[in-house]
Chain A
Amino acid sequence: MTKIATTPAENTRLQRSLGVLRDVMARPSGTIGLTLVACHLILAIISPWIVPYDYKAMDSLLMLKGPSGAHWLGTDHLGRDVLTRVLLGGREALLVTGIATPIAVIWGGLLGIFFGLVGGRLDEVFMRVVDAFLSLPWILKMLVLIVTFGTGIEVLIPTLAFFYGIPVIRIARAATHDVVARDFISAARARGHGRITVISRELLPNVLDTLMVEGAMRWSWMLLAFSSLSFLGFGVSPPKPDWGLMIADARGFMSFAPWGVLGPVIALSSLIIGINLTADALAKALGIDRAQKAPV
């Protein structure tokens, strides 16, 4: 029942990554997810050059106008073009979370691997601290820091990276436990390899897959958190456009001007759905999702 590749492939790291990418693309969830994420990323980069209007140009004559030829998604309560603001509204969120996610995965992952390897009483005590942290509502924890230090990027990135790294510790620790018990680790120890070699060569490659999938999931959660903070007024400051902020501003007029909410909602949810679908396909391509193993 072993699947045997008919072509003896060059099993370099690059080729494995390409193979995984191909596998992700071959799945419907991967195709849709990656397309959504790619569209968002491209738009975020090029939007300043393609937007039809100035995002802060107000026009009292155009307040809350419905979609038209000139304003495809209508205008908001200050007469600003919604399409322009939707196109630009993801930039800040993607920038902040794009930097904070890798930081969260790296520090959480390293600490998780460390405690997974050390075990014993130190691990026991530390994990209870982690549990205690996880039991507090995230929004509360974050608001405390943001209210204390301010709402700039330089505060938001470390805050998000810190709080979203904590669950990664758990995942990395569990993945480490799975791998450490396997014989190839014993074999490497019995050969007399140093601790660093065993960790970097034997352990890390096997934990990395799990961390990648976890990272993708964390990214989507972090986006949601960032938008929630903006919605509450603690993220991006006006007049800069941001989806969370736009939803907050337009929600009062939802009953008669739904376009103000609809644009940013669709943008935000399509990005989050895209990331989730990609993470899902990635997990399957890497063989982490055991329920979906290939037949026979």
Chain B
Amino acid sequence: MSTLIDIRDISVGFVGRDGRTREVLRNIDLAVDSGECVGLVGESGSGKSTLALAAMGYLKRGLRLLNGSATFNGTDIFAQSRQELERIRGGQLALIPQNSGQSLTPTMRIGAQLHEALRLHSALPADHHATKAIELLGHVRLPDPKAIVTRFPHELSGGQQQRVAIAMALAGEPKALLLDEPTTGLDVTTQAHILELLRDIAAERGMAMVYVSHDLGAIARVCTRVVVMYAGEIVLEGSTRHVLKSPTHPYAQGLLASIPKLDCAALPIALDGRPPAPGDAGAGCAFADRCAIVQDRCRSVRPQLAPSEIGGTVRCFLAEEAKRQKGRTTGAAPVRYSGDDTMLDLDGLSISYAKPRLLEQMLGRGTNVPPTVDDISISVGKGETLGLVGESGSGKSTILKAIAGLLPPAGGAVTAGDQPLPHTVEQRHPSQLRQIQLIFQNPDDSLNPRHTVSDILEQPLKLYFGLSGNKLRARSAEILERVRLGAHYLDRLPNQLSGGEKQRVAIARAFAAGPEIVLCDEVTSALDVSVQAAILDLLNDLKKTQGTTYIFVSHDLAVVRVLSDRVAVLYQGRLCEIGQTHQVFGGESHPYTKVLLGAVLEPDPDAEPTLAADDVVERAPPERGCPFQRRCPRRLGAICDTDAPPWQSPATGHAIRCHISLEDLNAD
């Protein structure tokens, strides 16, 4: 094996407003052999993407090379001319970005984009391009490549777009692929399929891959070697097995402990604090402030990367100790619900986005498009947490919006406590509005950038409780305390807070209303895993002290598992299965639940996902029969297309909606 990518002692930084040079990467050495797959992991801001891009000689605007060199296949990348770089990039060294939907040209057909890649980066004569394009699309396992070449990017699903991006990258027969979070933002099933594809392609072609991701599950599946980065430096490097199974650096341990796992019902342990800003790491170990086993010398002397005795290298004085510390891997047990008062009741809820067309309006008819969400009947107990899971487009968020009154349902009823709720916010009484609070996915979007934290928290307090003056401020501080932020945060603006702090403020705002029901819409998806663990812990704590009822929406099954008492599985806006968490996650379950569970990636090199169904994205539910009919791996036959499946109950509180008999469901 020869070294393909050789990065030596590279430092990259920018000059801040104060004129100081701040380093984003600090003296990094990284060698990638041909055919090898290396994973780069770390929290956001650790410099992992910057390092991967530096390997192809690209630095983001404002960044400059301070030291070191990057060699690709024997050529010094940073010494090349622009033309030379353009030849290498996309040819021998290809990049697959995170959101390929945005990197494909929206006005060009897929075929034309592939032709362009072939023209620029392959030696093939032009008349072979058309057949080669179809061949490449077949390689990335897109169904019906001949039809795909005539499509535009927006006509493809996210997973299909990502496959096209991979096909384009393969056009130049690259020796190495750089992947920057290629599956982030995709559904679990799609992600698992893409990762399998990448594994196979790399093995078939002997390609090297540098895989940048914050998702250790994806890394475990694809990479043979892992490099853990922190504050712009490598802290641990070794085989995937060594890093994930017996990490010797406290940071890697913390990162692993903060990931919720499907087979473990305990809360993950949060990694407190946050990494130093570029250039702010002191003289000692950059991780010292967050380290559980820190010693005095860690703060004054910067540890060097040293070979660890079980293989790989580690940047820690206390690697030995860290290994012994490993015992503490599970956190507190989540609060479990026991009670039988109903807090929220959804009865036959249906929601439709389709508007009747002009002709239909004139004829006085409704649309015959099936509603986006249909026939949702769930009741949630007081203090219970209901998890809603499903792929994107399954209607999870739509249901939350309908409960909050932001989207009037087409039919059905929502009852909170013992009073039926009017359909829209405008019709609801303030006391009914106060009862139900919504927390959004992305705090950057849900907090007004022009309001200070106190402005944000005071709004519900003024609106619902009519507080003012000193009382108002005191109460705001008290609420802030409850989400573990000090009163000194009151005068800050959202852009002066970190992602986790912003989400805490959003949570505080919801709890300021003293709600009985809190709707959480993917509240941790935009956060780092270490921060996610802290947020989950906080939500659990608030449930304990306030007795709040949660409806928790997430695409991450492990996260749902941790907090939920009961789980409802949705497909295309229809319920497939509902039951106690342990019932849904084990024993007999709906074929769709099985597909979802099979696709979950564990941060364990031995865990293997099972890919049962195709990762096709459906745009609308079928008009008749089972919603999952087109993708179901266990289809019975025509009955699935024509008849709505019956509810079957294998145990009290557990219901599965499928034509397959319970014995058969249990069989596999």
Contacts and interface: CB of A to CB of B under 8 A. Distances in A.
A189 B450 contact: no
Given A8-B492, A187-B440, A296-B24, A2 B406 contact: no
B496 A4 contact: yes
Interface in B494-552: 495-499, 509, 513
A10 interface: yes
Contacts of A4: 277, 496-498
Q: How many of chain B's residues touch chain A, expressed as a range?
A: 35 or more
A184 B513 contact: no
Given A206-B449, A295-B63, A190 B405 contact: yes
Contact of A2 (B425, B438, B489, B497): B497
Interface string B398-440: 0000001110000000000000000001001010011001101
B356 to A, nearest CB: 15
Contacts of A295: 14, 60-63
B476 to A, nearest CB: 14
A3 B44 CA distance: 13
Interface in B438-454: 438, 440-442, 445-452
A9 interface: yes
B206 interface: no
B449 to A, nearest CB: 7
Q: Which of B446, B448, B513 has the most CB of A within 10 A?
A: B448
Contact of A11 (B433, B488, B491): B491
A261 to B, nearest CB: 43
B598 interface: no
Interface in A1-60: 1-5, 8-11
B275 to A, nearest CB: 11
B460 interface: yes
Contacts of B433: 190-192
A296 B493 contact: no
A264 to B, nearest CB: 40
B62 A189 contact: no
A110 interface: no
A296 B463 contact: no
A9 B491 contact: yes
B528 to A, nearest CB: 12
A10 B496 CA distance: 12
A170 B212 CA distance: 42
Contact of A10 (B17, B405, B463, B491): B491
A186 B463 contact: no
B45 interface: yes
B278 interface: yes
A240 interface: no
A189 B449 contact: no
B459 interface: yes
A239 interface: no
Contacts of A186: 406, 438, 440, 446
Contacts of A193: 459, 463
B571 to A, nearest CB: 25
Nearest to A203: B448
Among all A-B residue pairs, the 9 with the closest Cβ atoms: A295-B62, A192-B433, A183-B446, A205-B450, A183-B445, A183-B440, A184-B448, A295-B14, A11-B452
28 contacts: A4-B496, A4-B497, A4-B498, A5-B492, A8-B488, A8-B491, A8-B492, A8-B496, A9-B492, A9-B496, A184-B447, A186-B406, A186-B446, A187-B446, A190-B437, A191-B433, A191-B437, A191-B459, A191-B513, A192-B425, A192-B430, A205-B451, A294-B17, A294-B62, A295-B14, A295-B60, A295-B61, A296-B24
Given A186-B446, A189-B425, 4 more contacts: A8-B489, A183-B442, A187-B438, A191-B513
Interface of A: 1-5, 8-11, 182-184, 186-193, 201-202, 205-206, 294-296
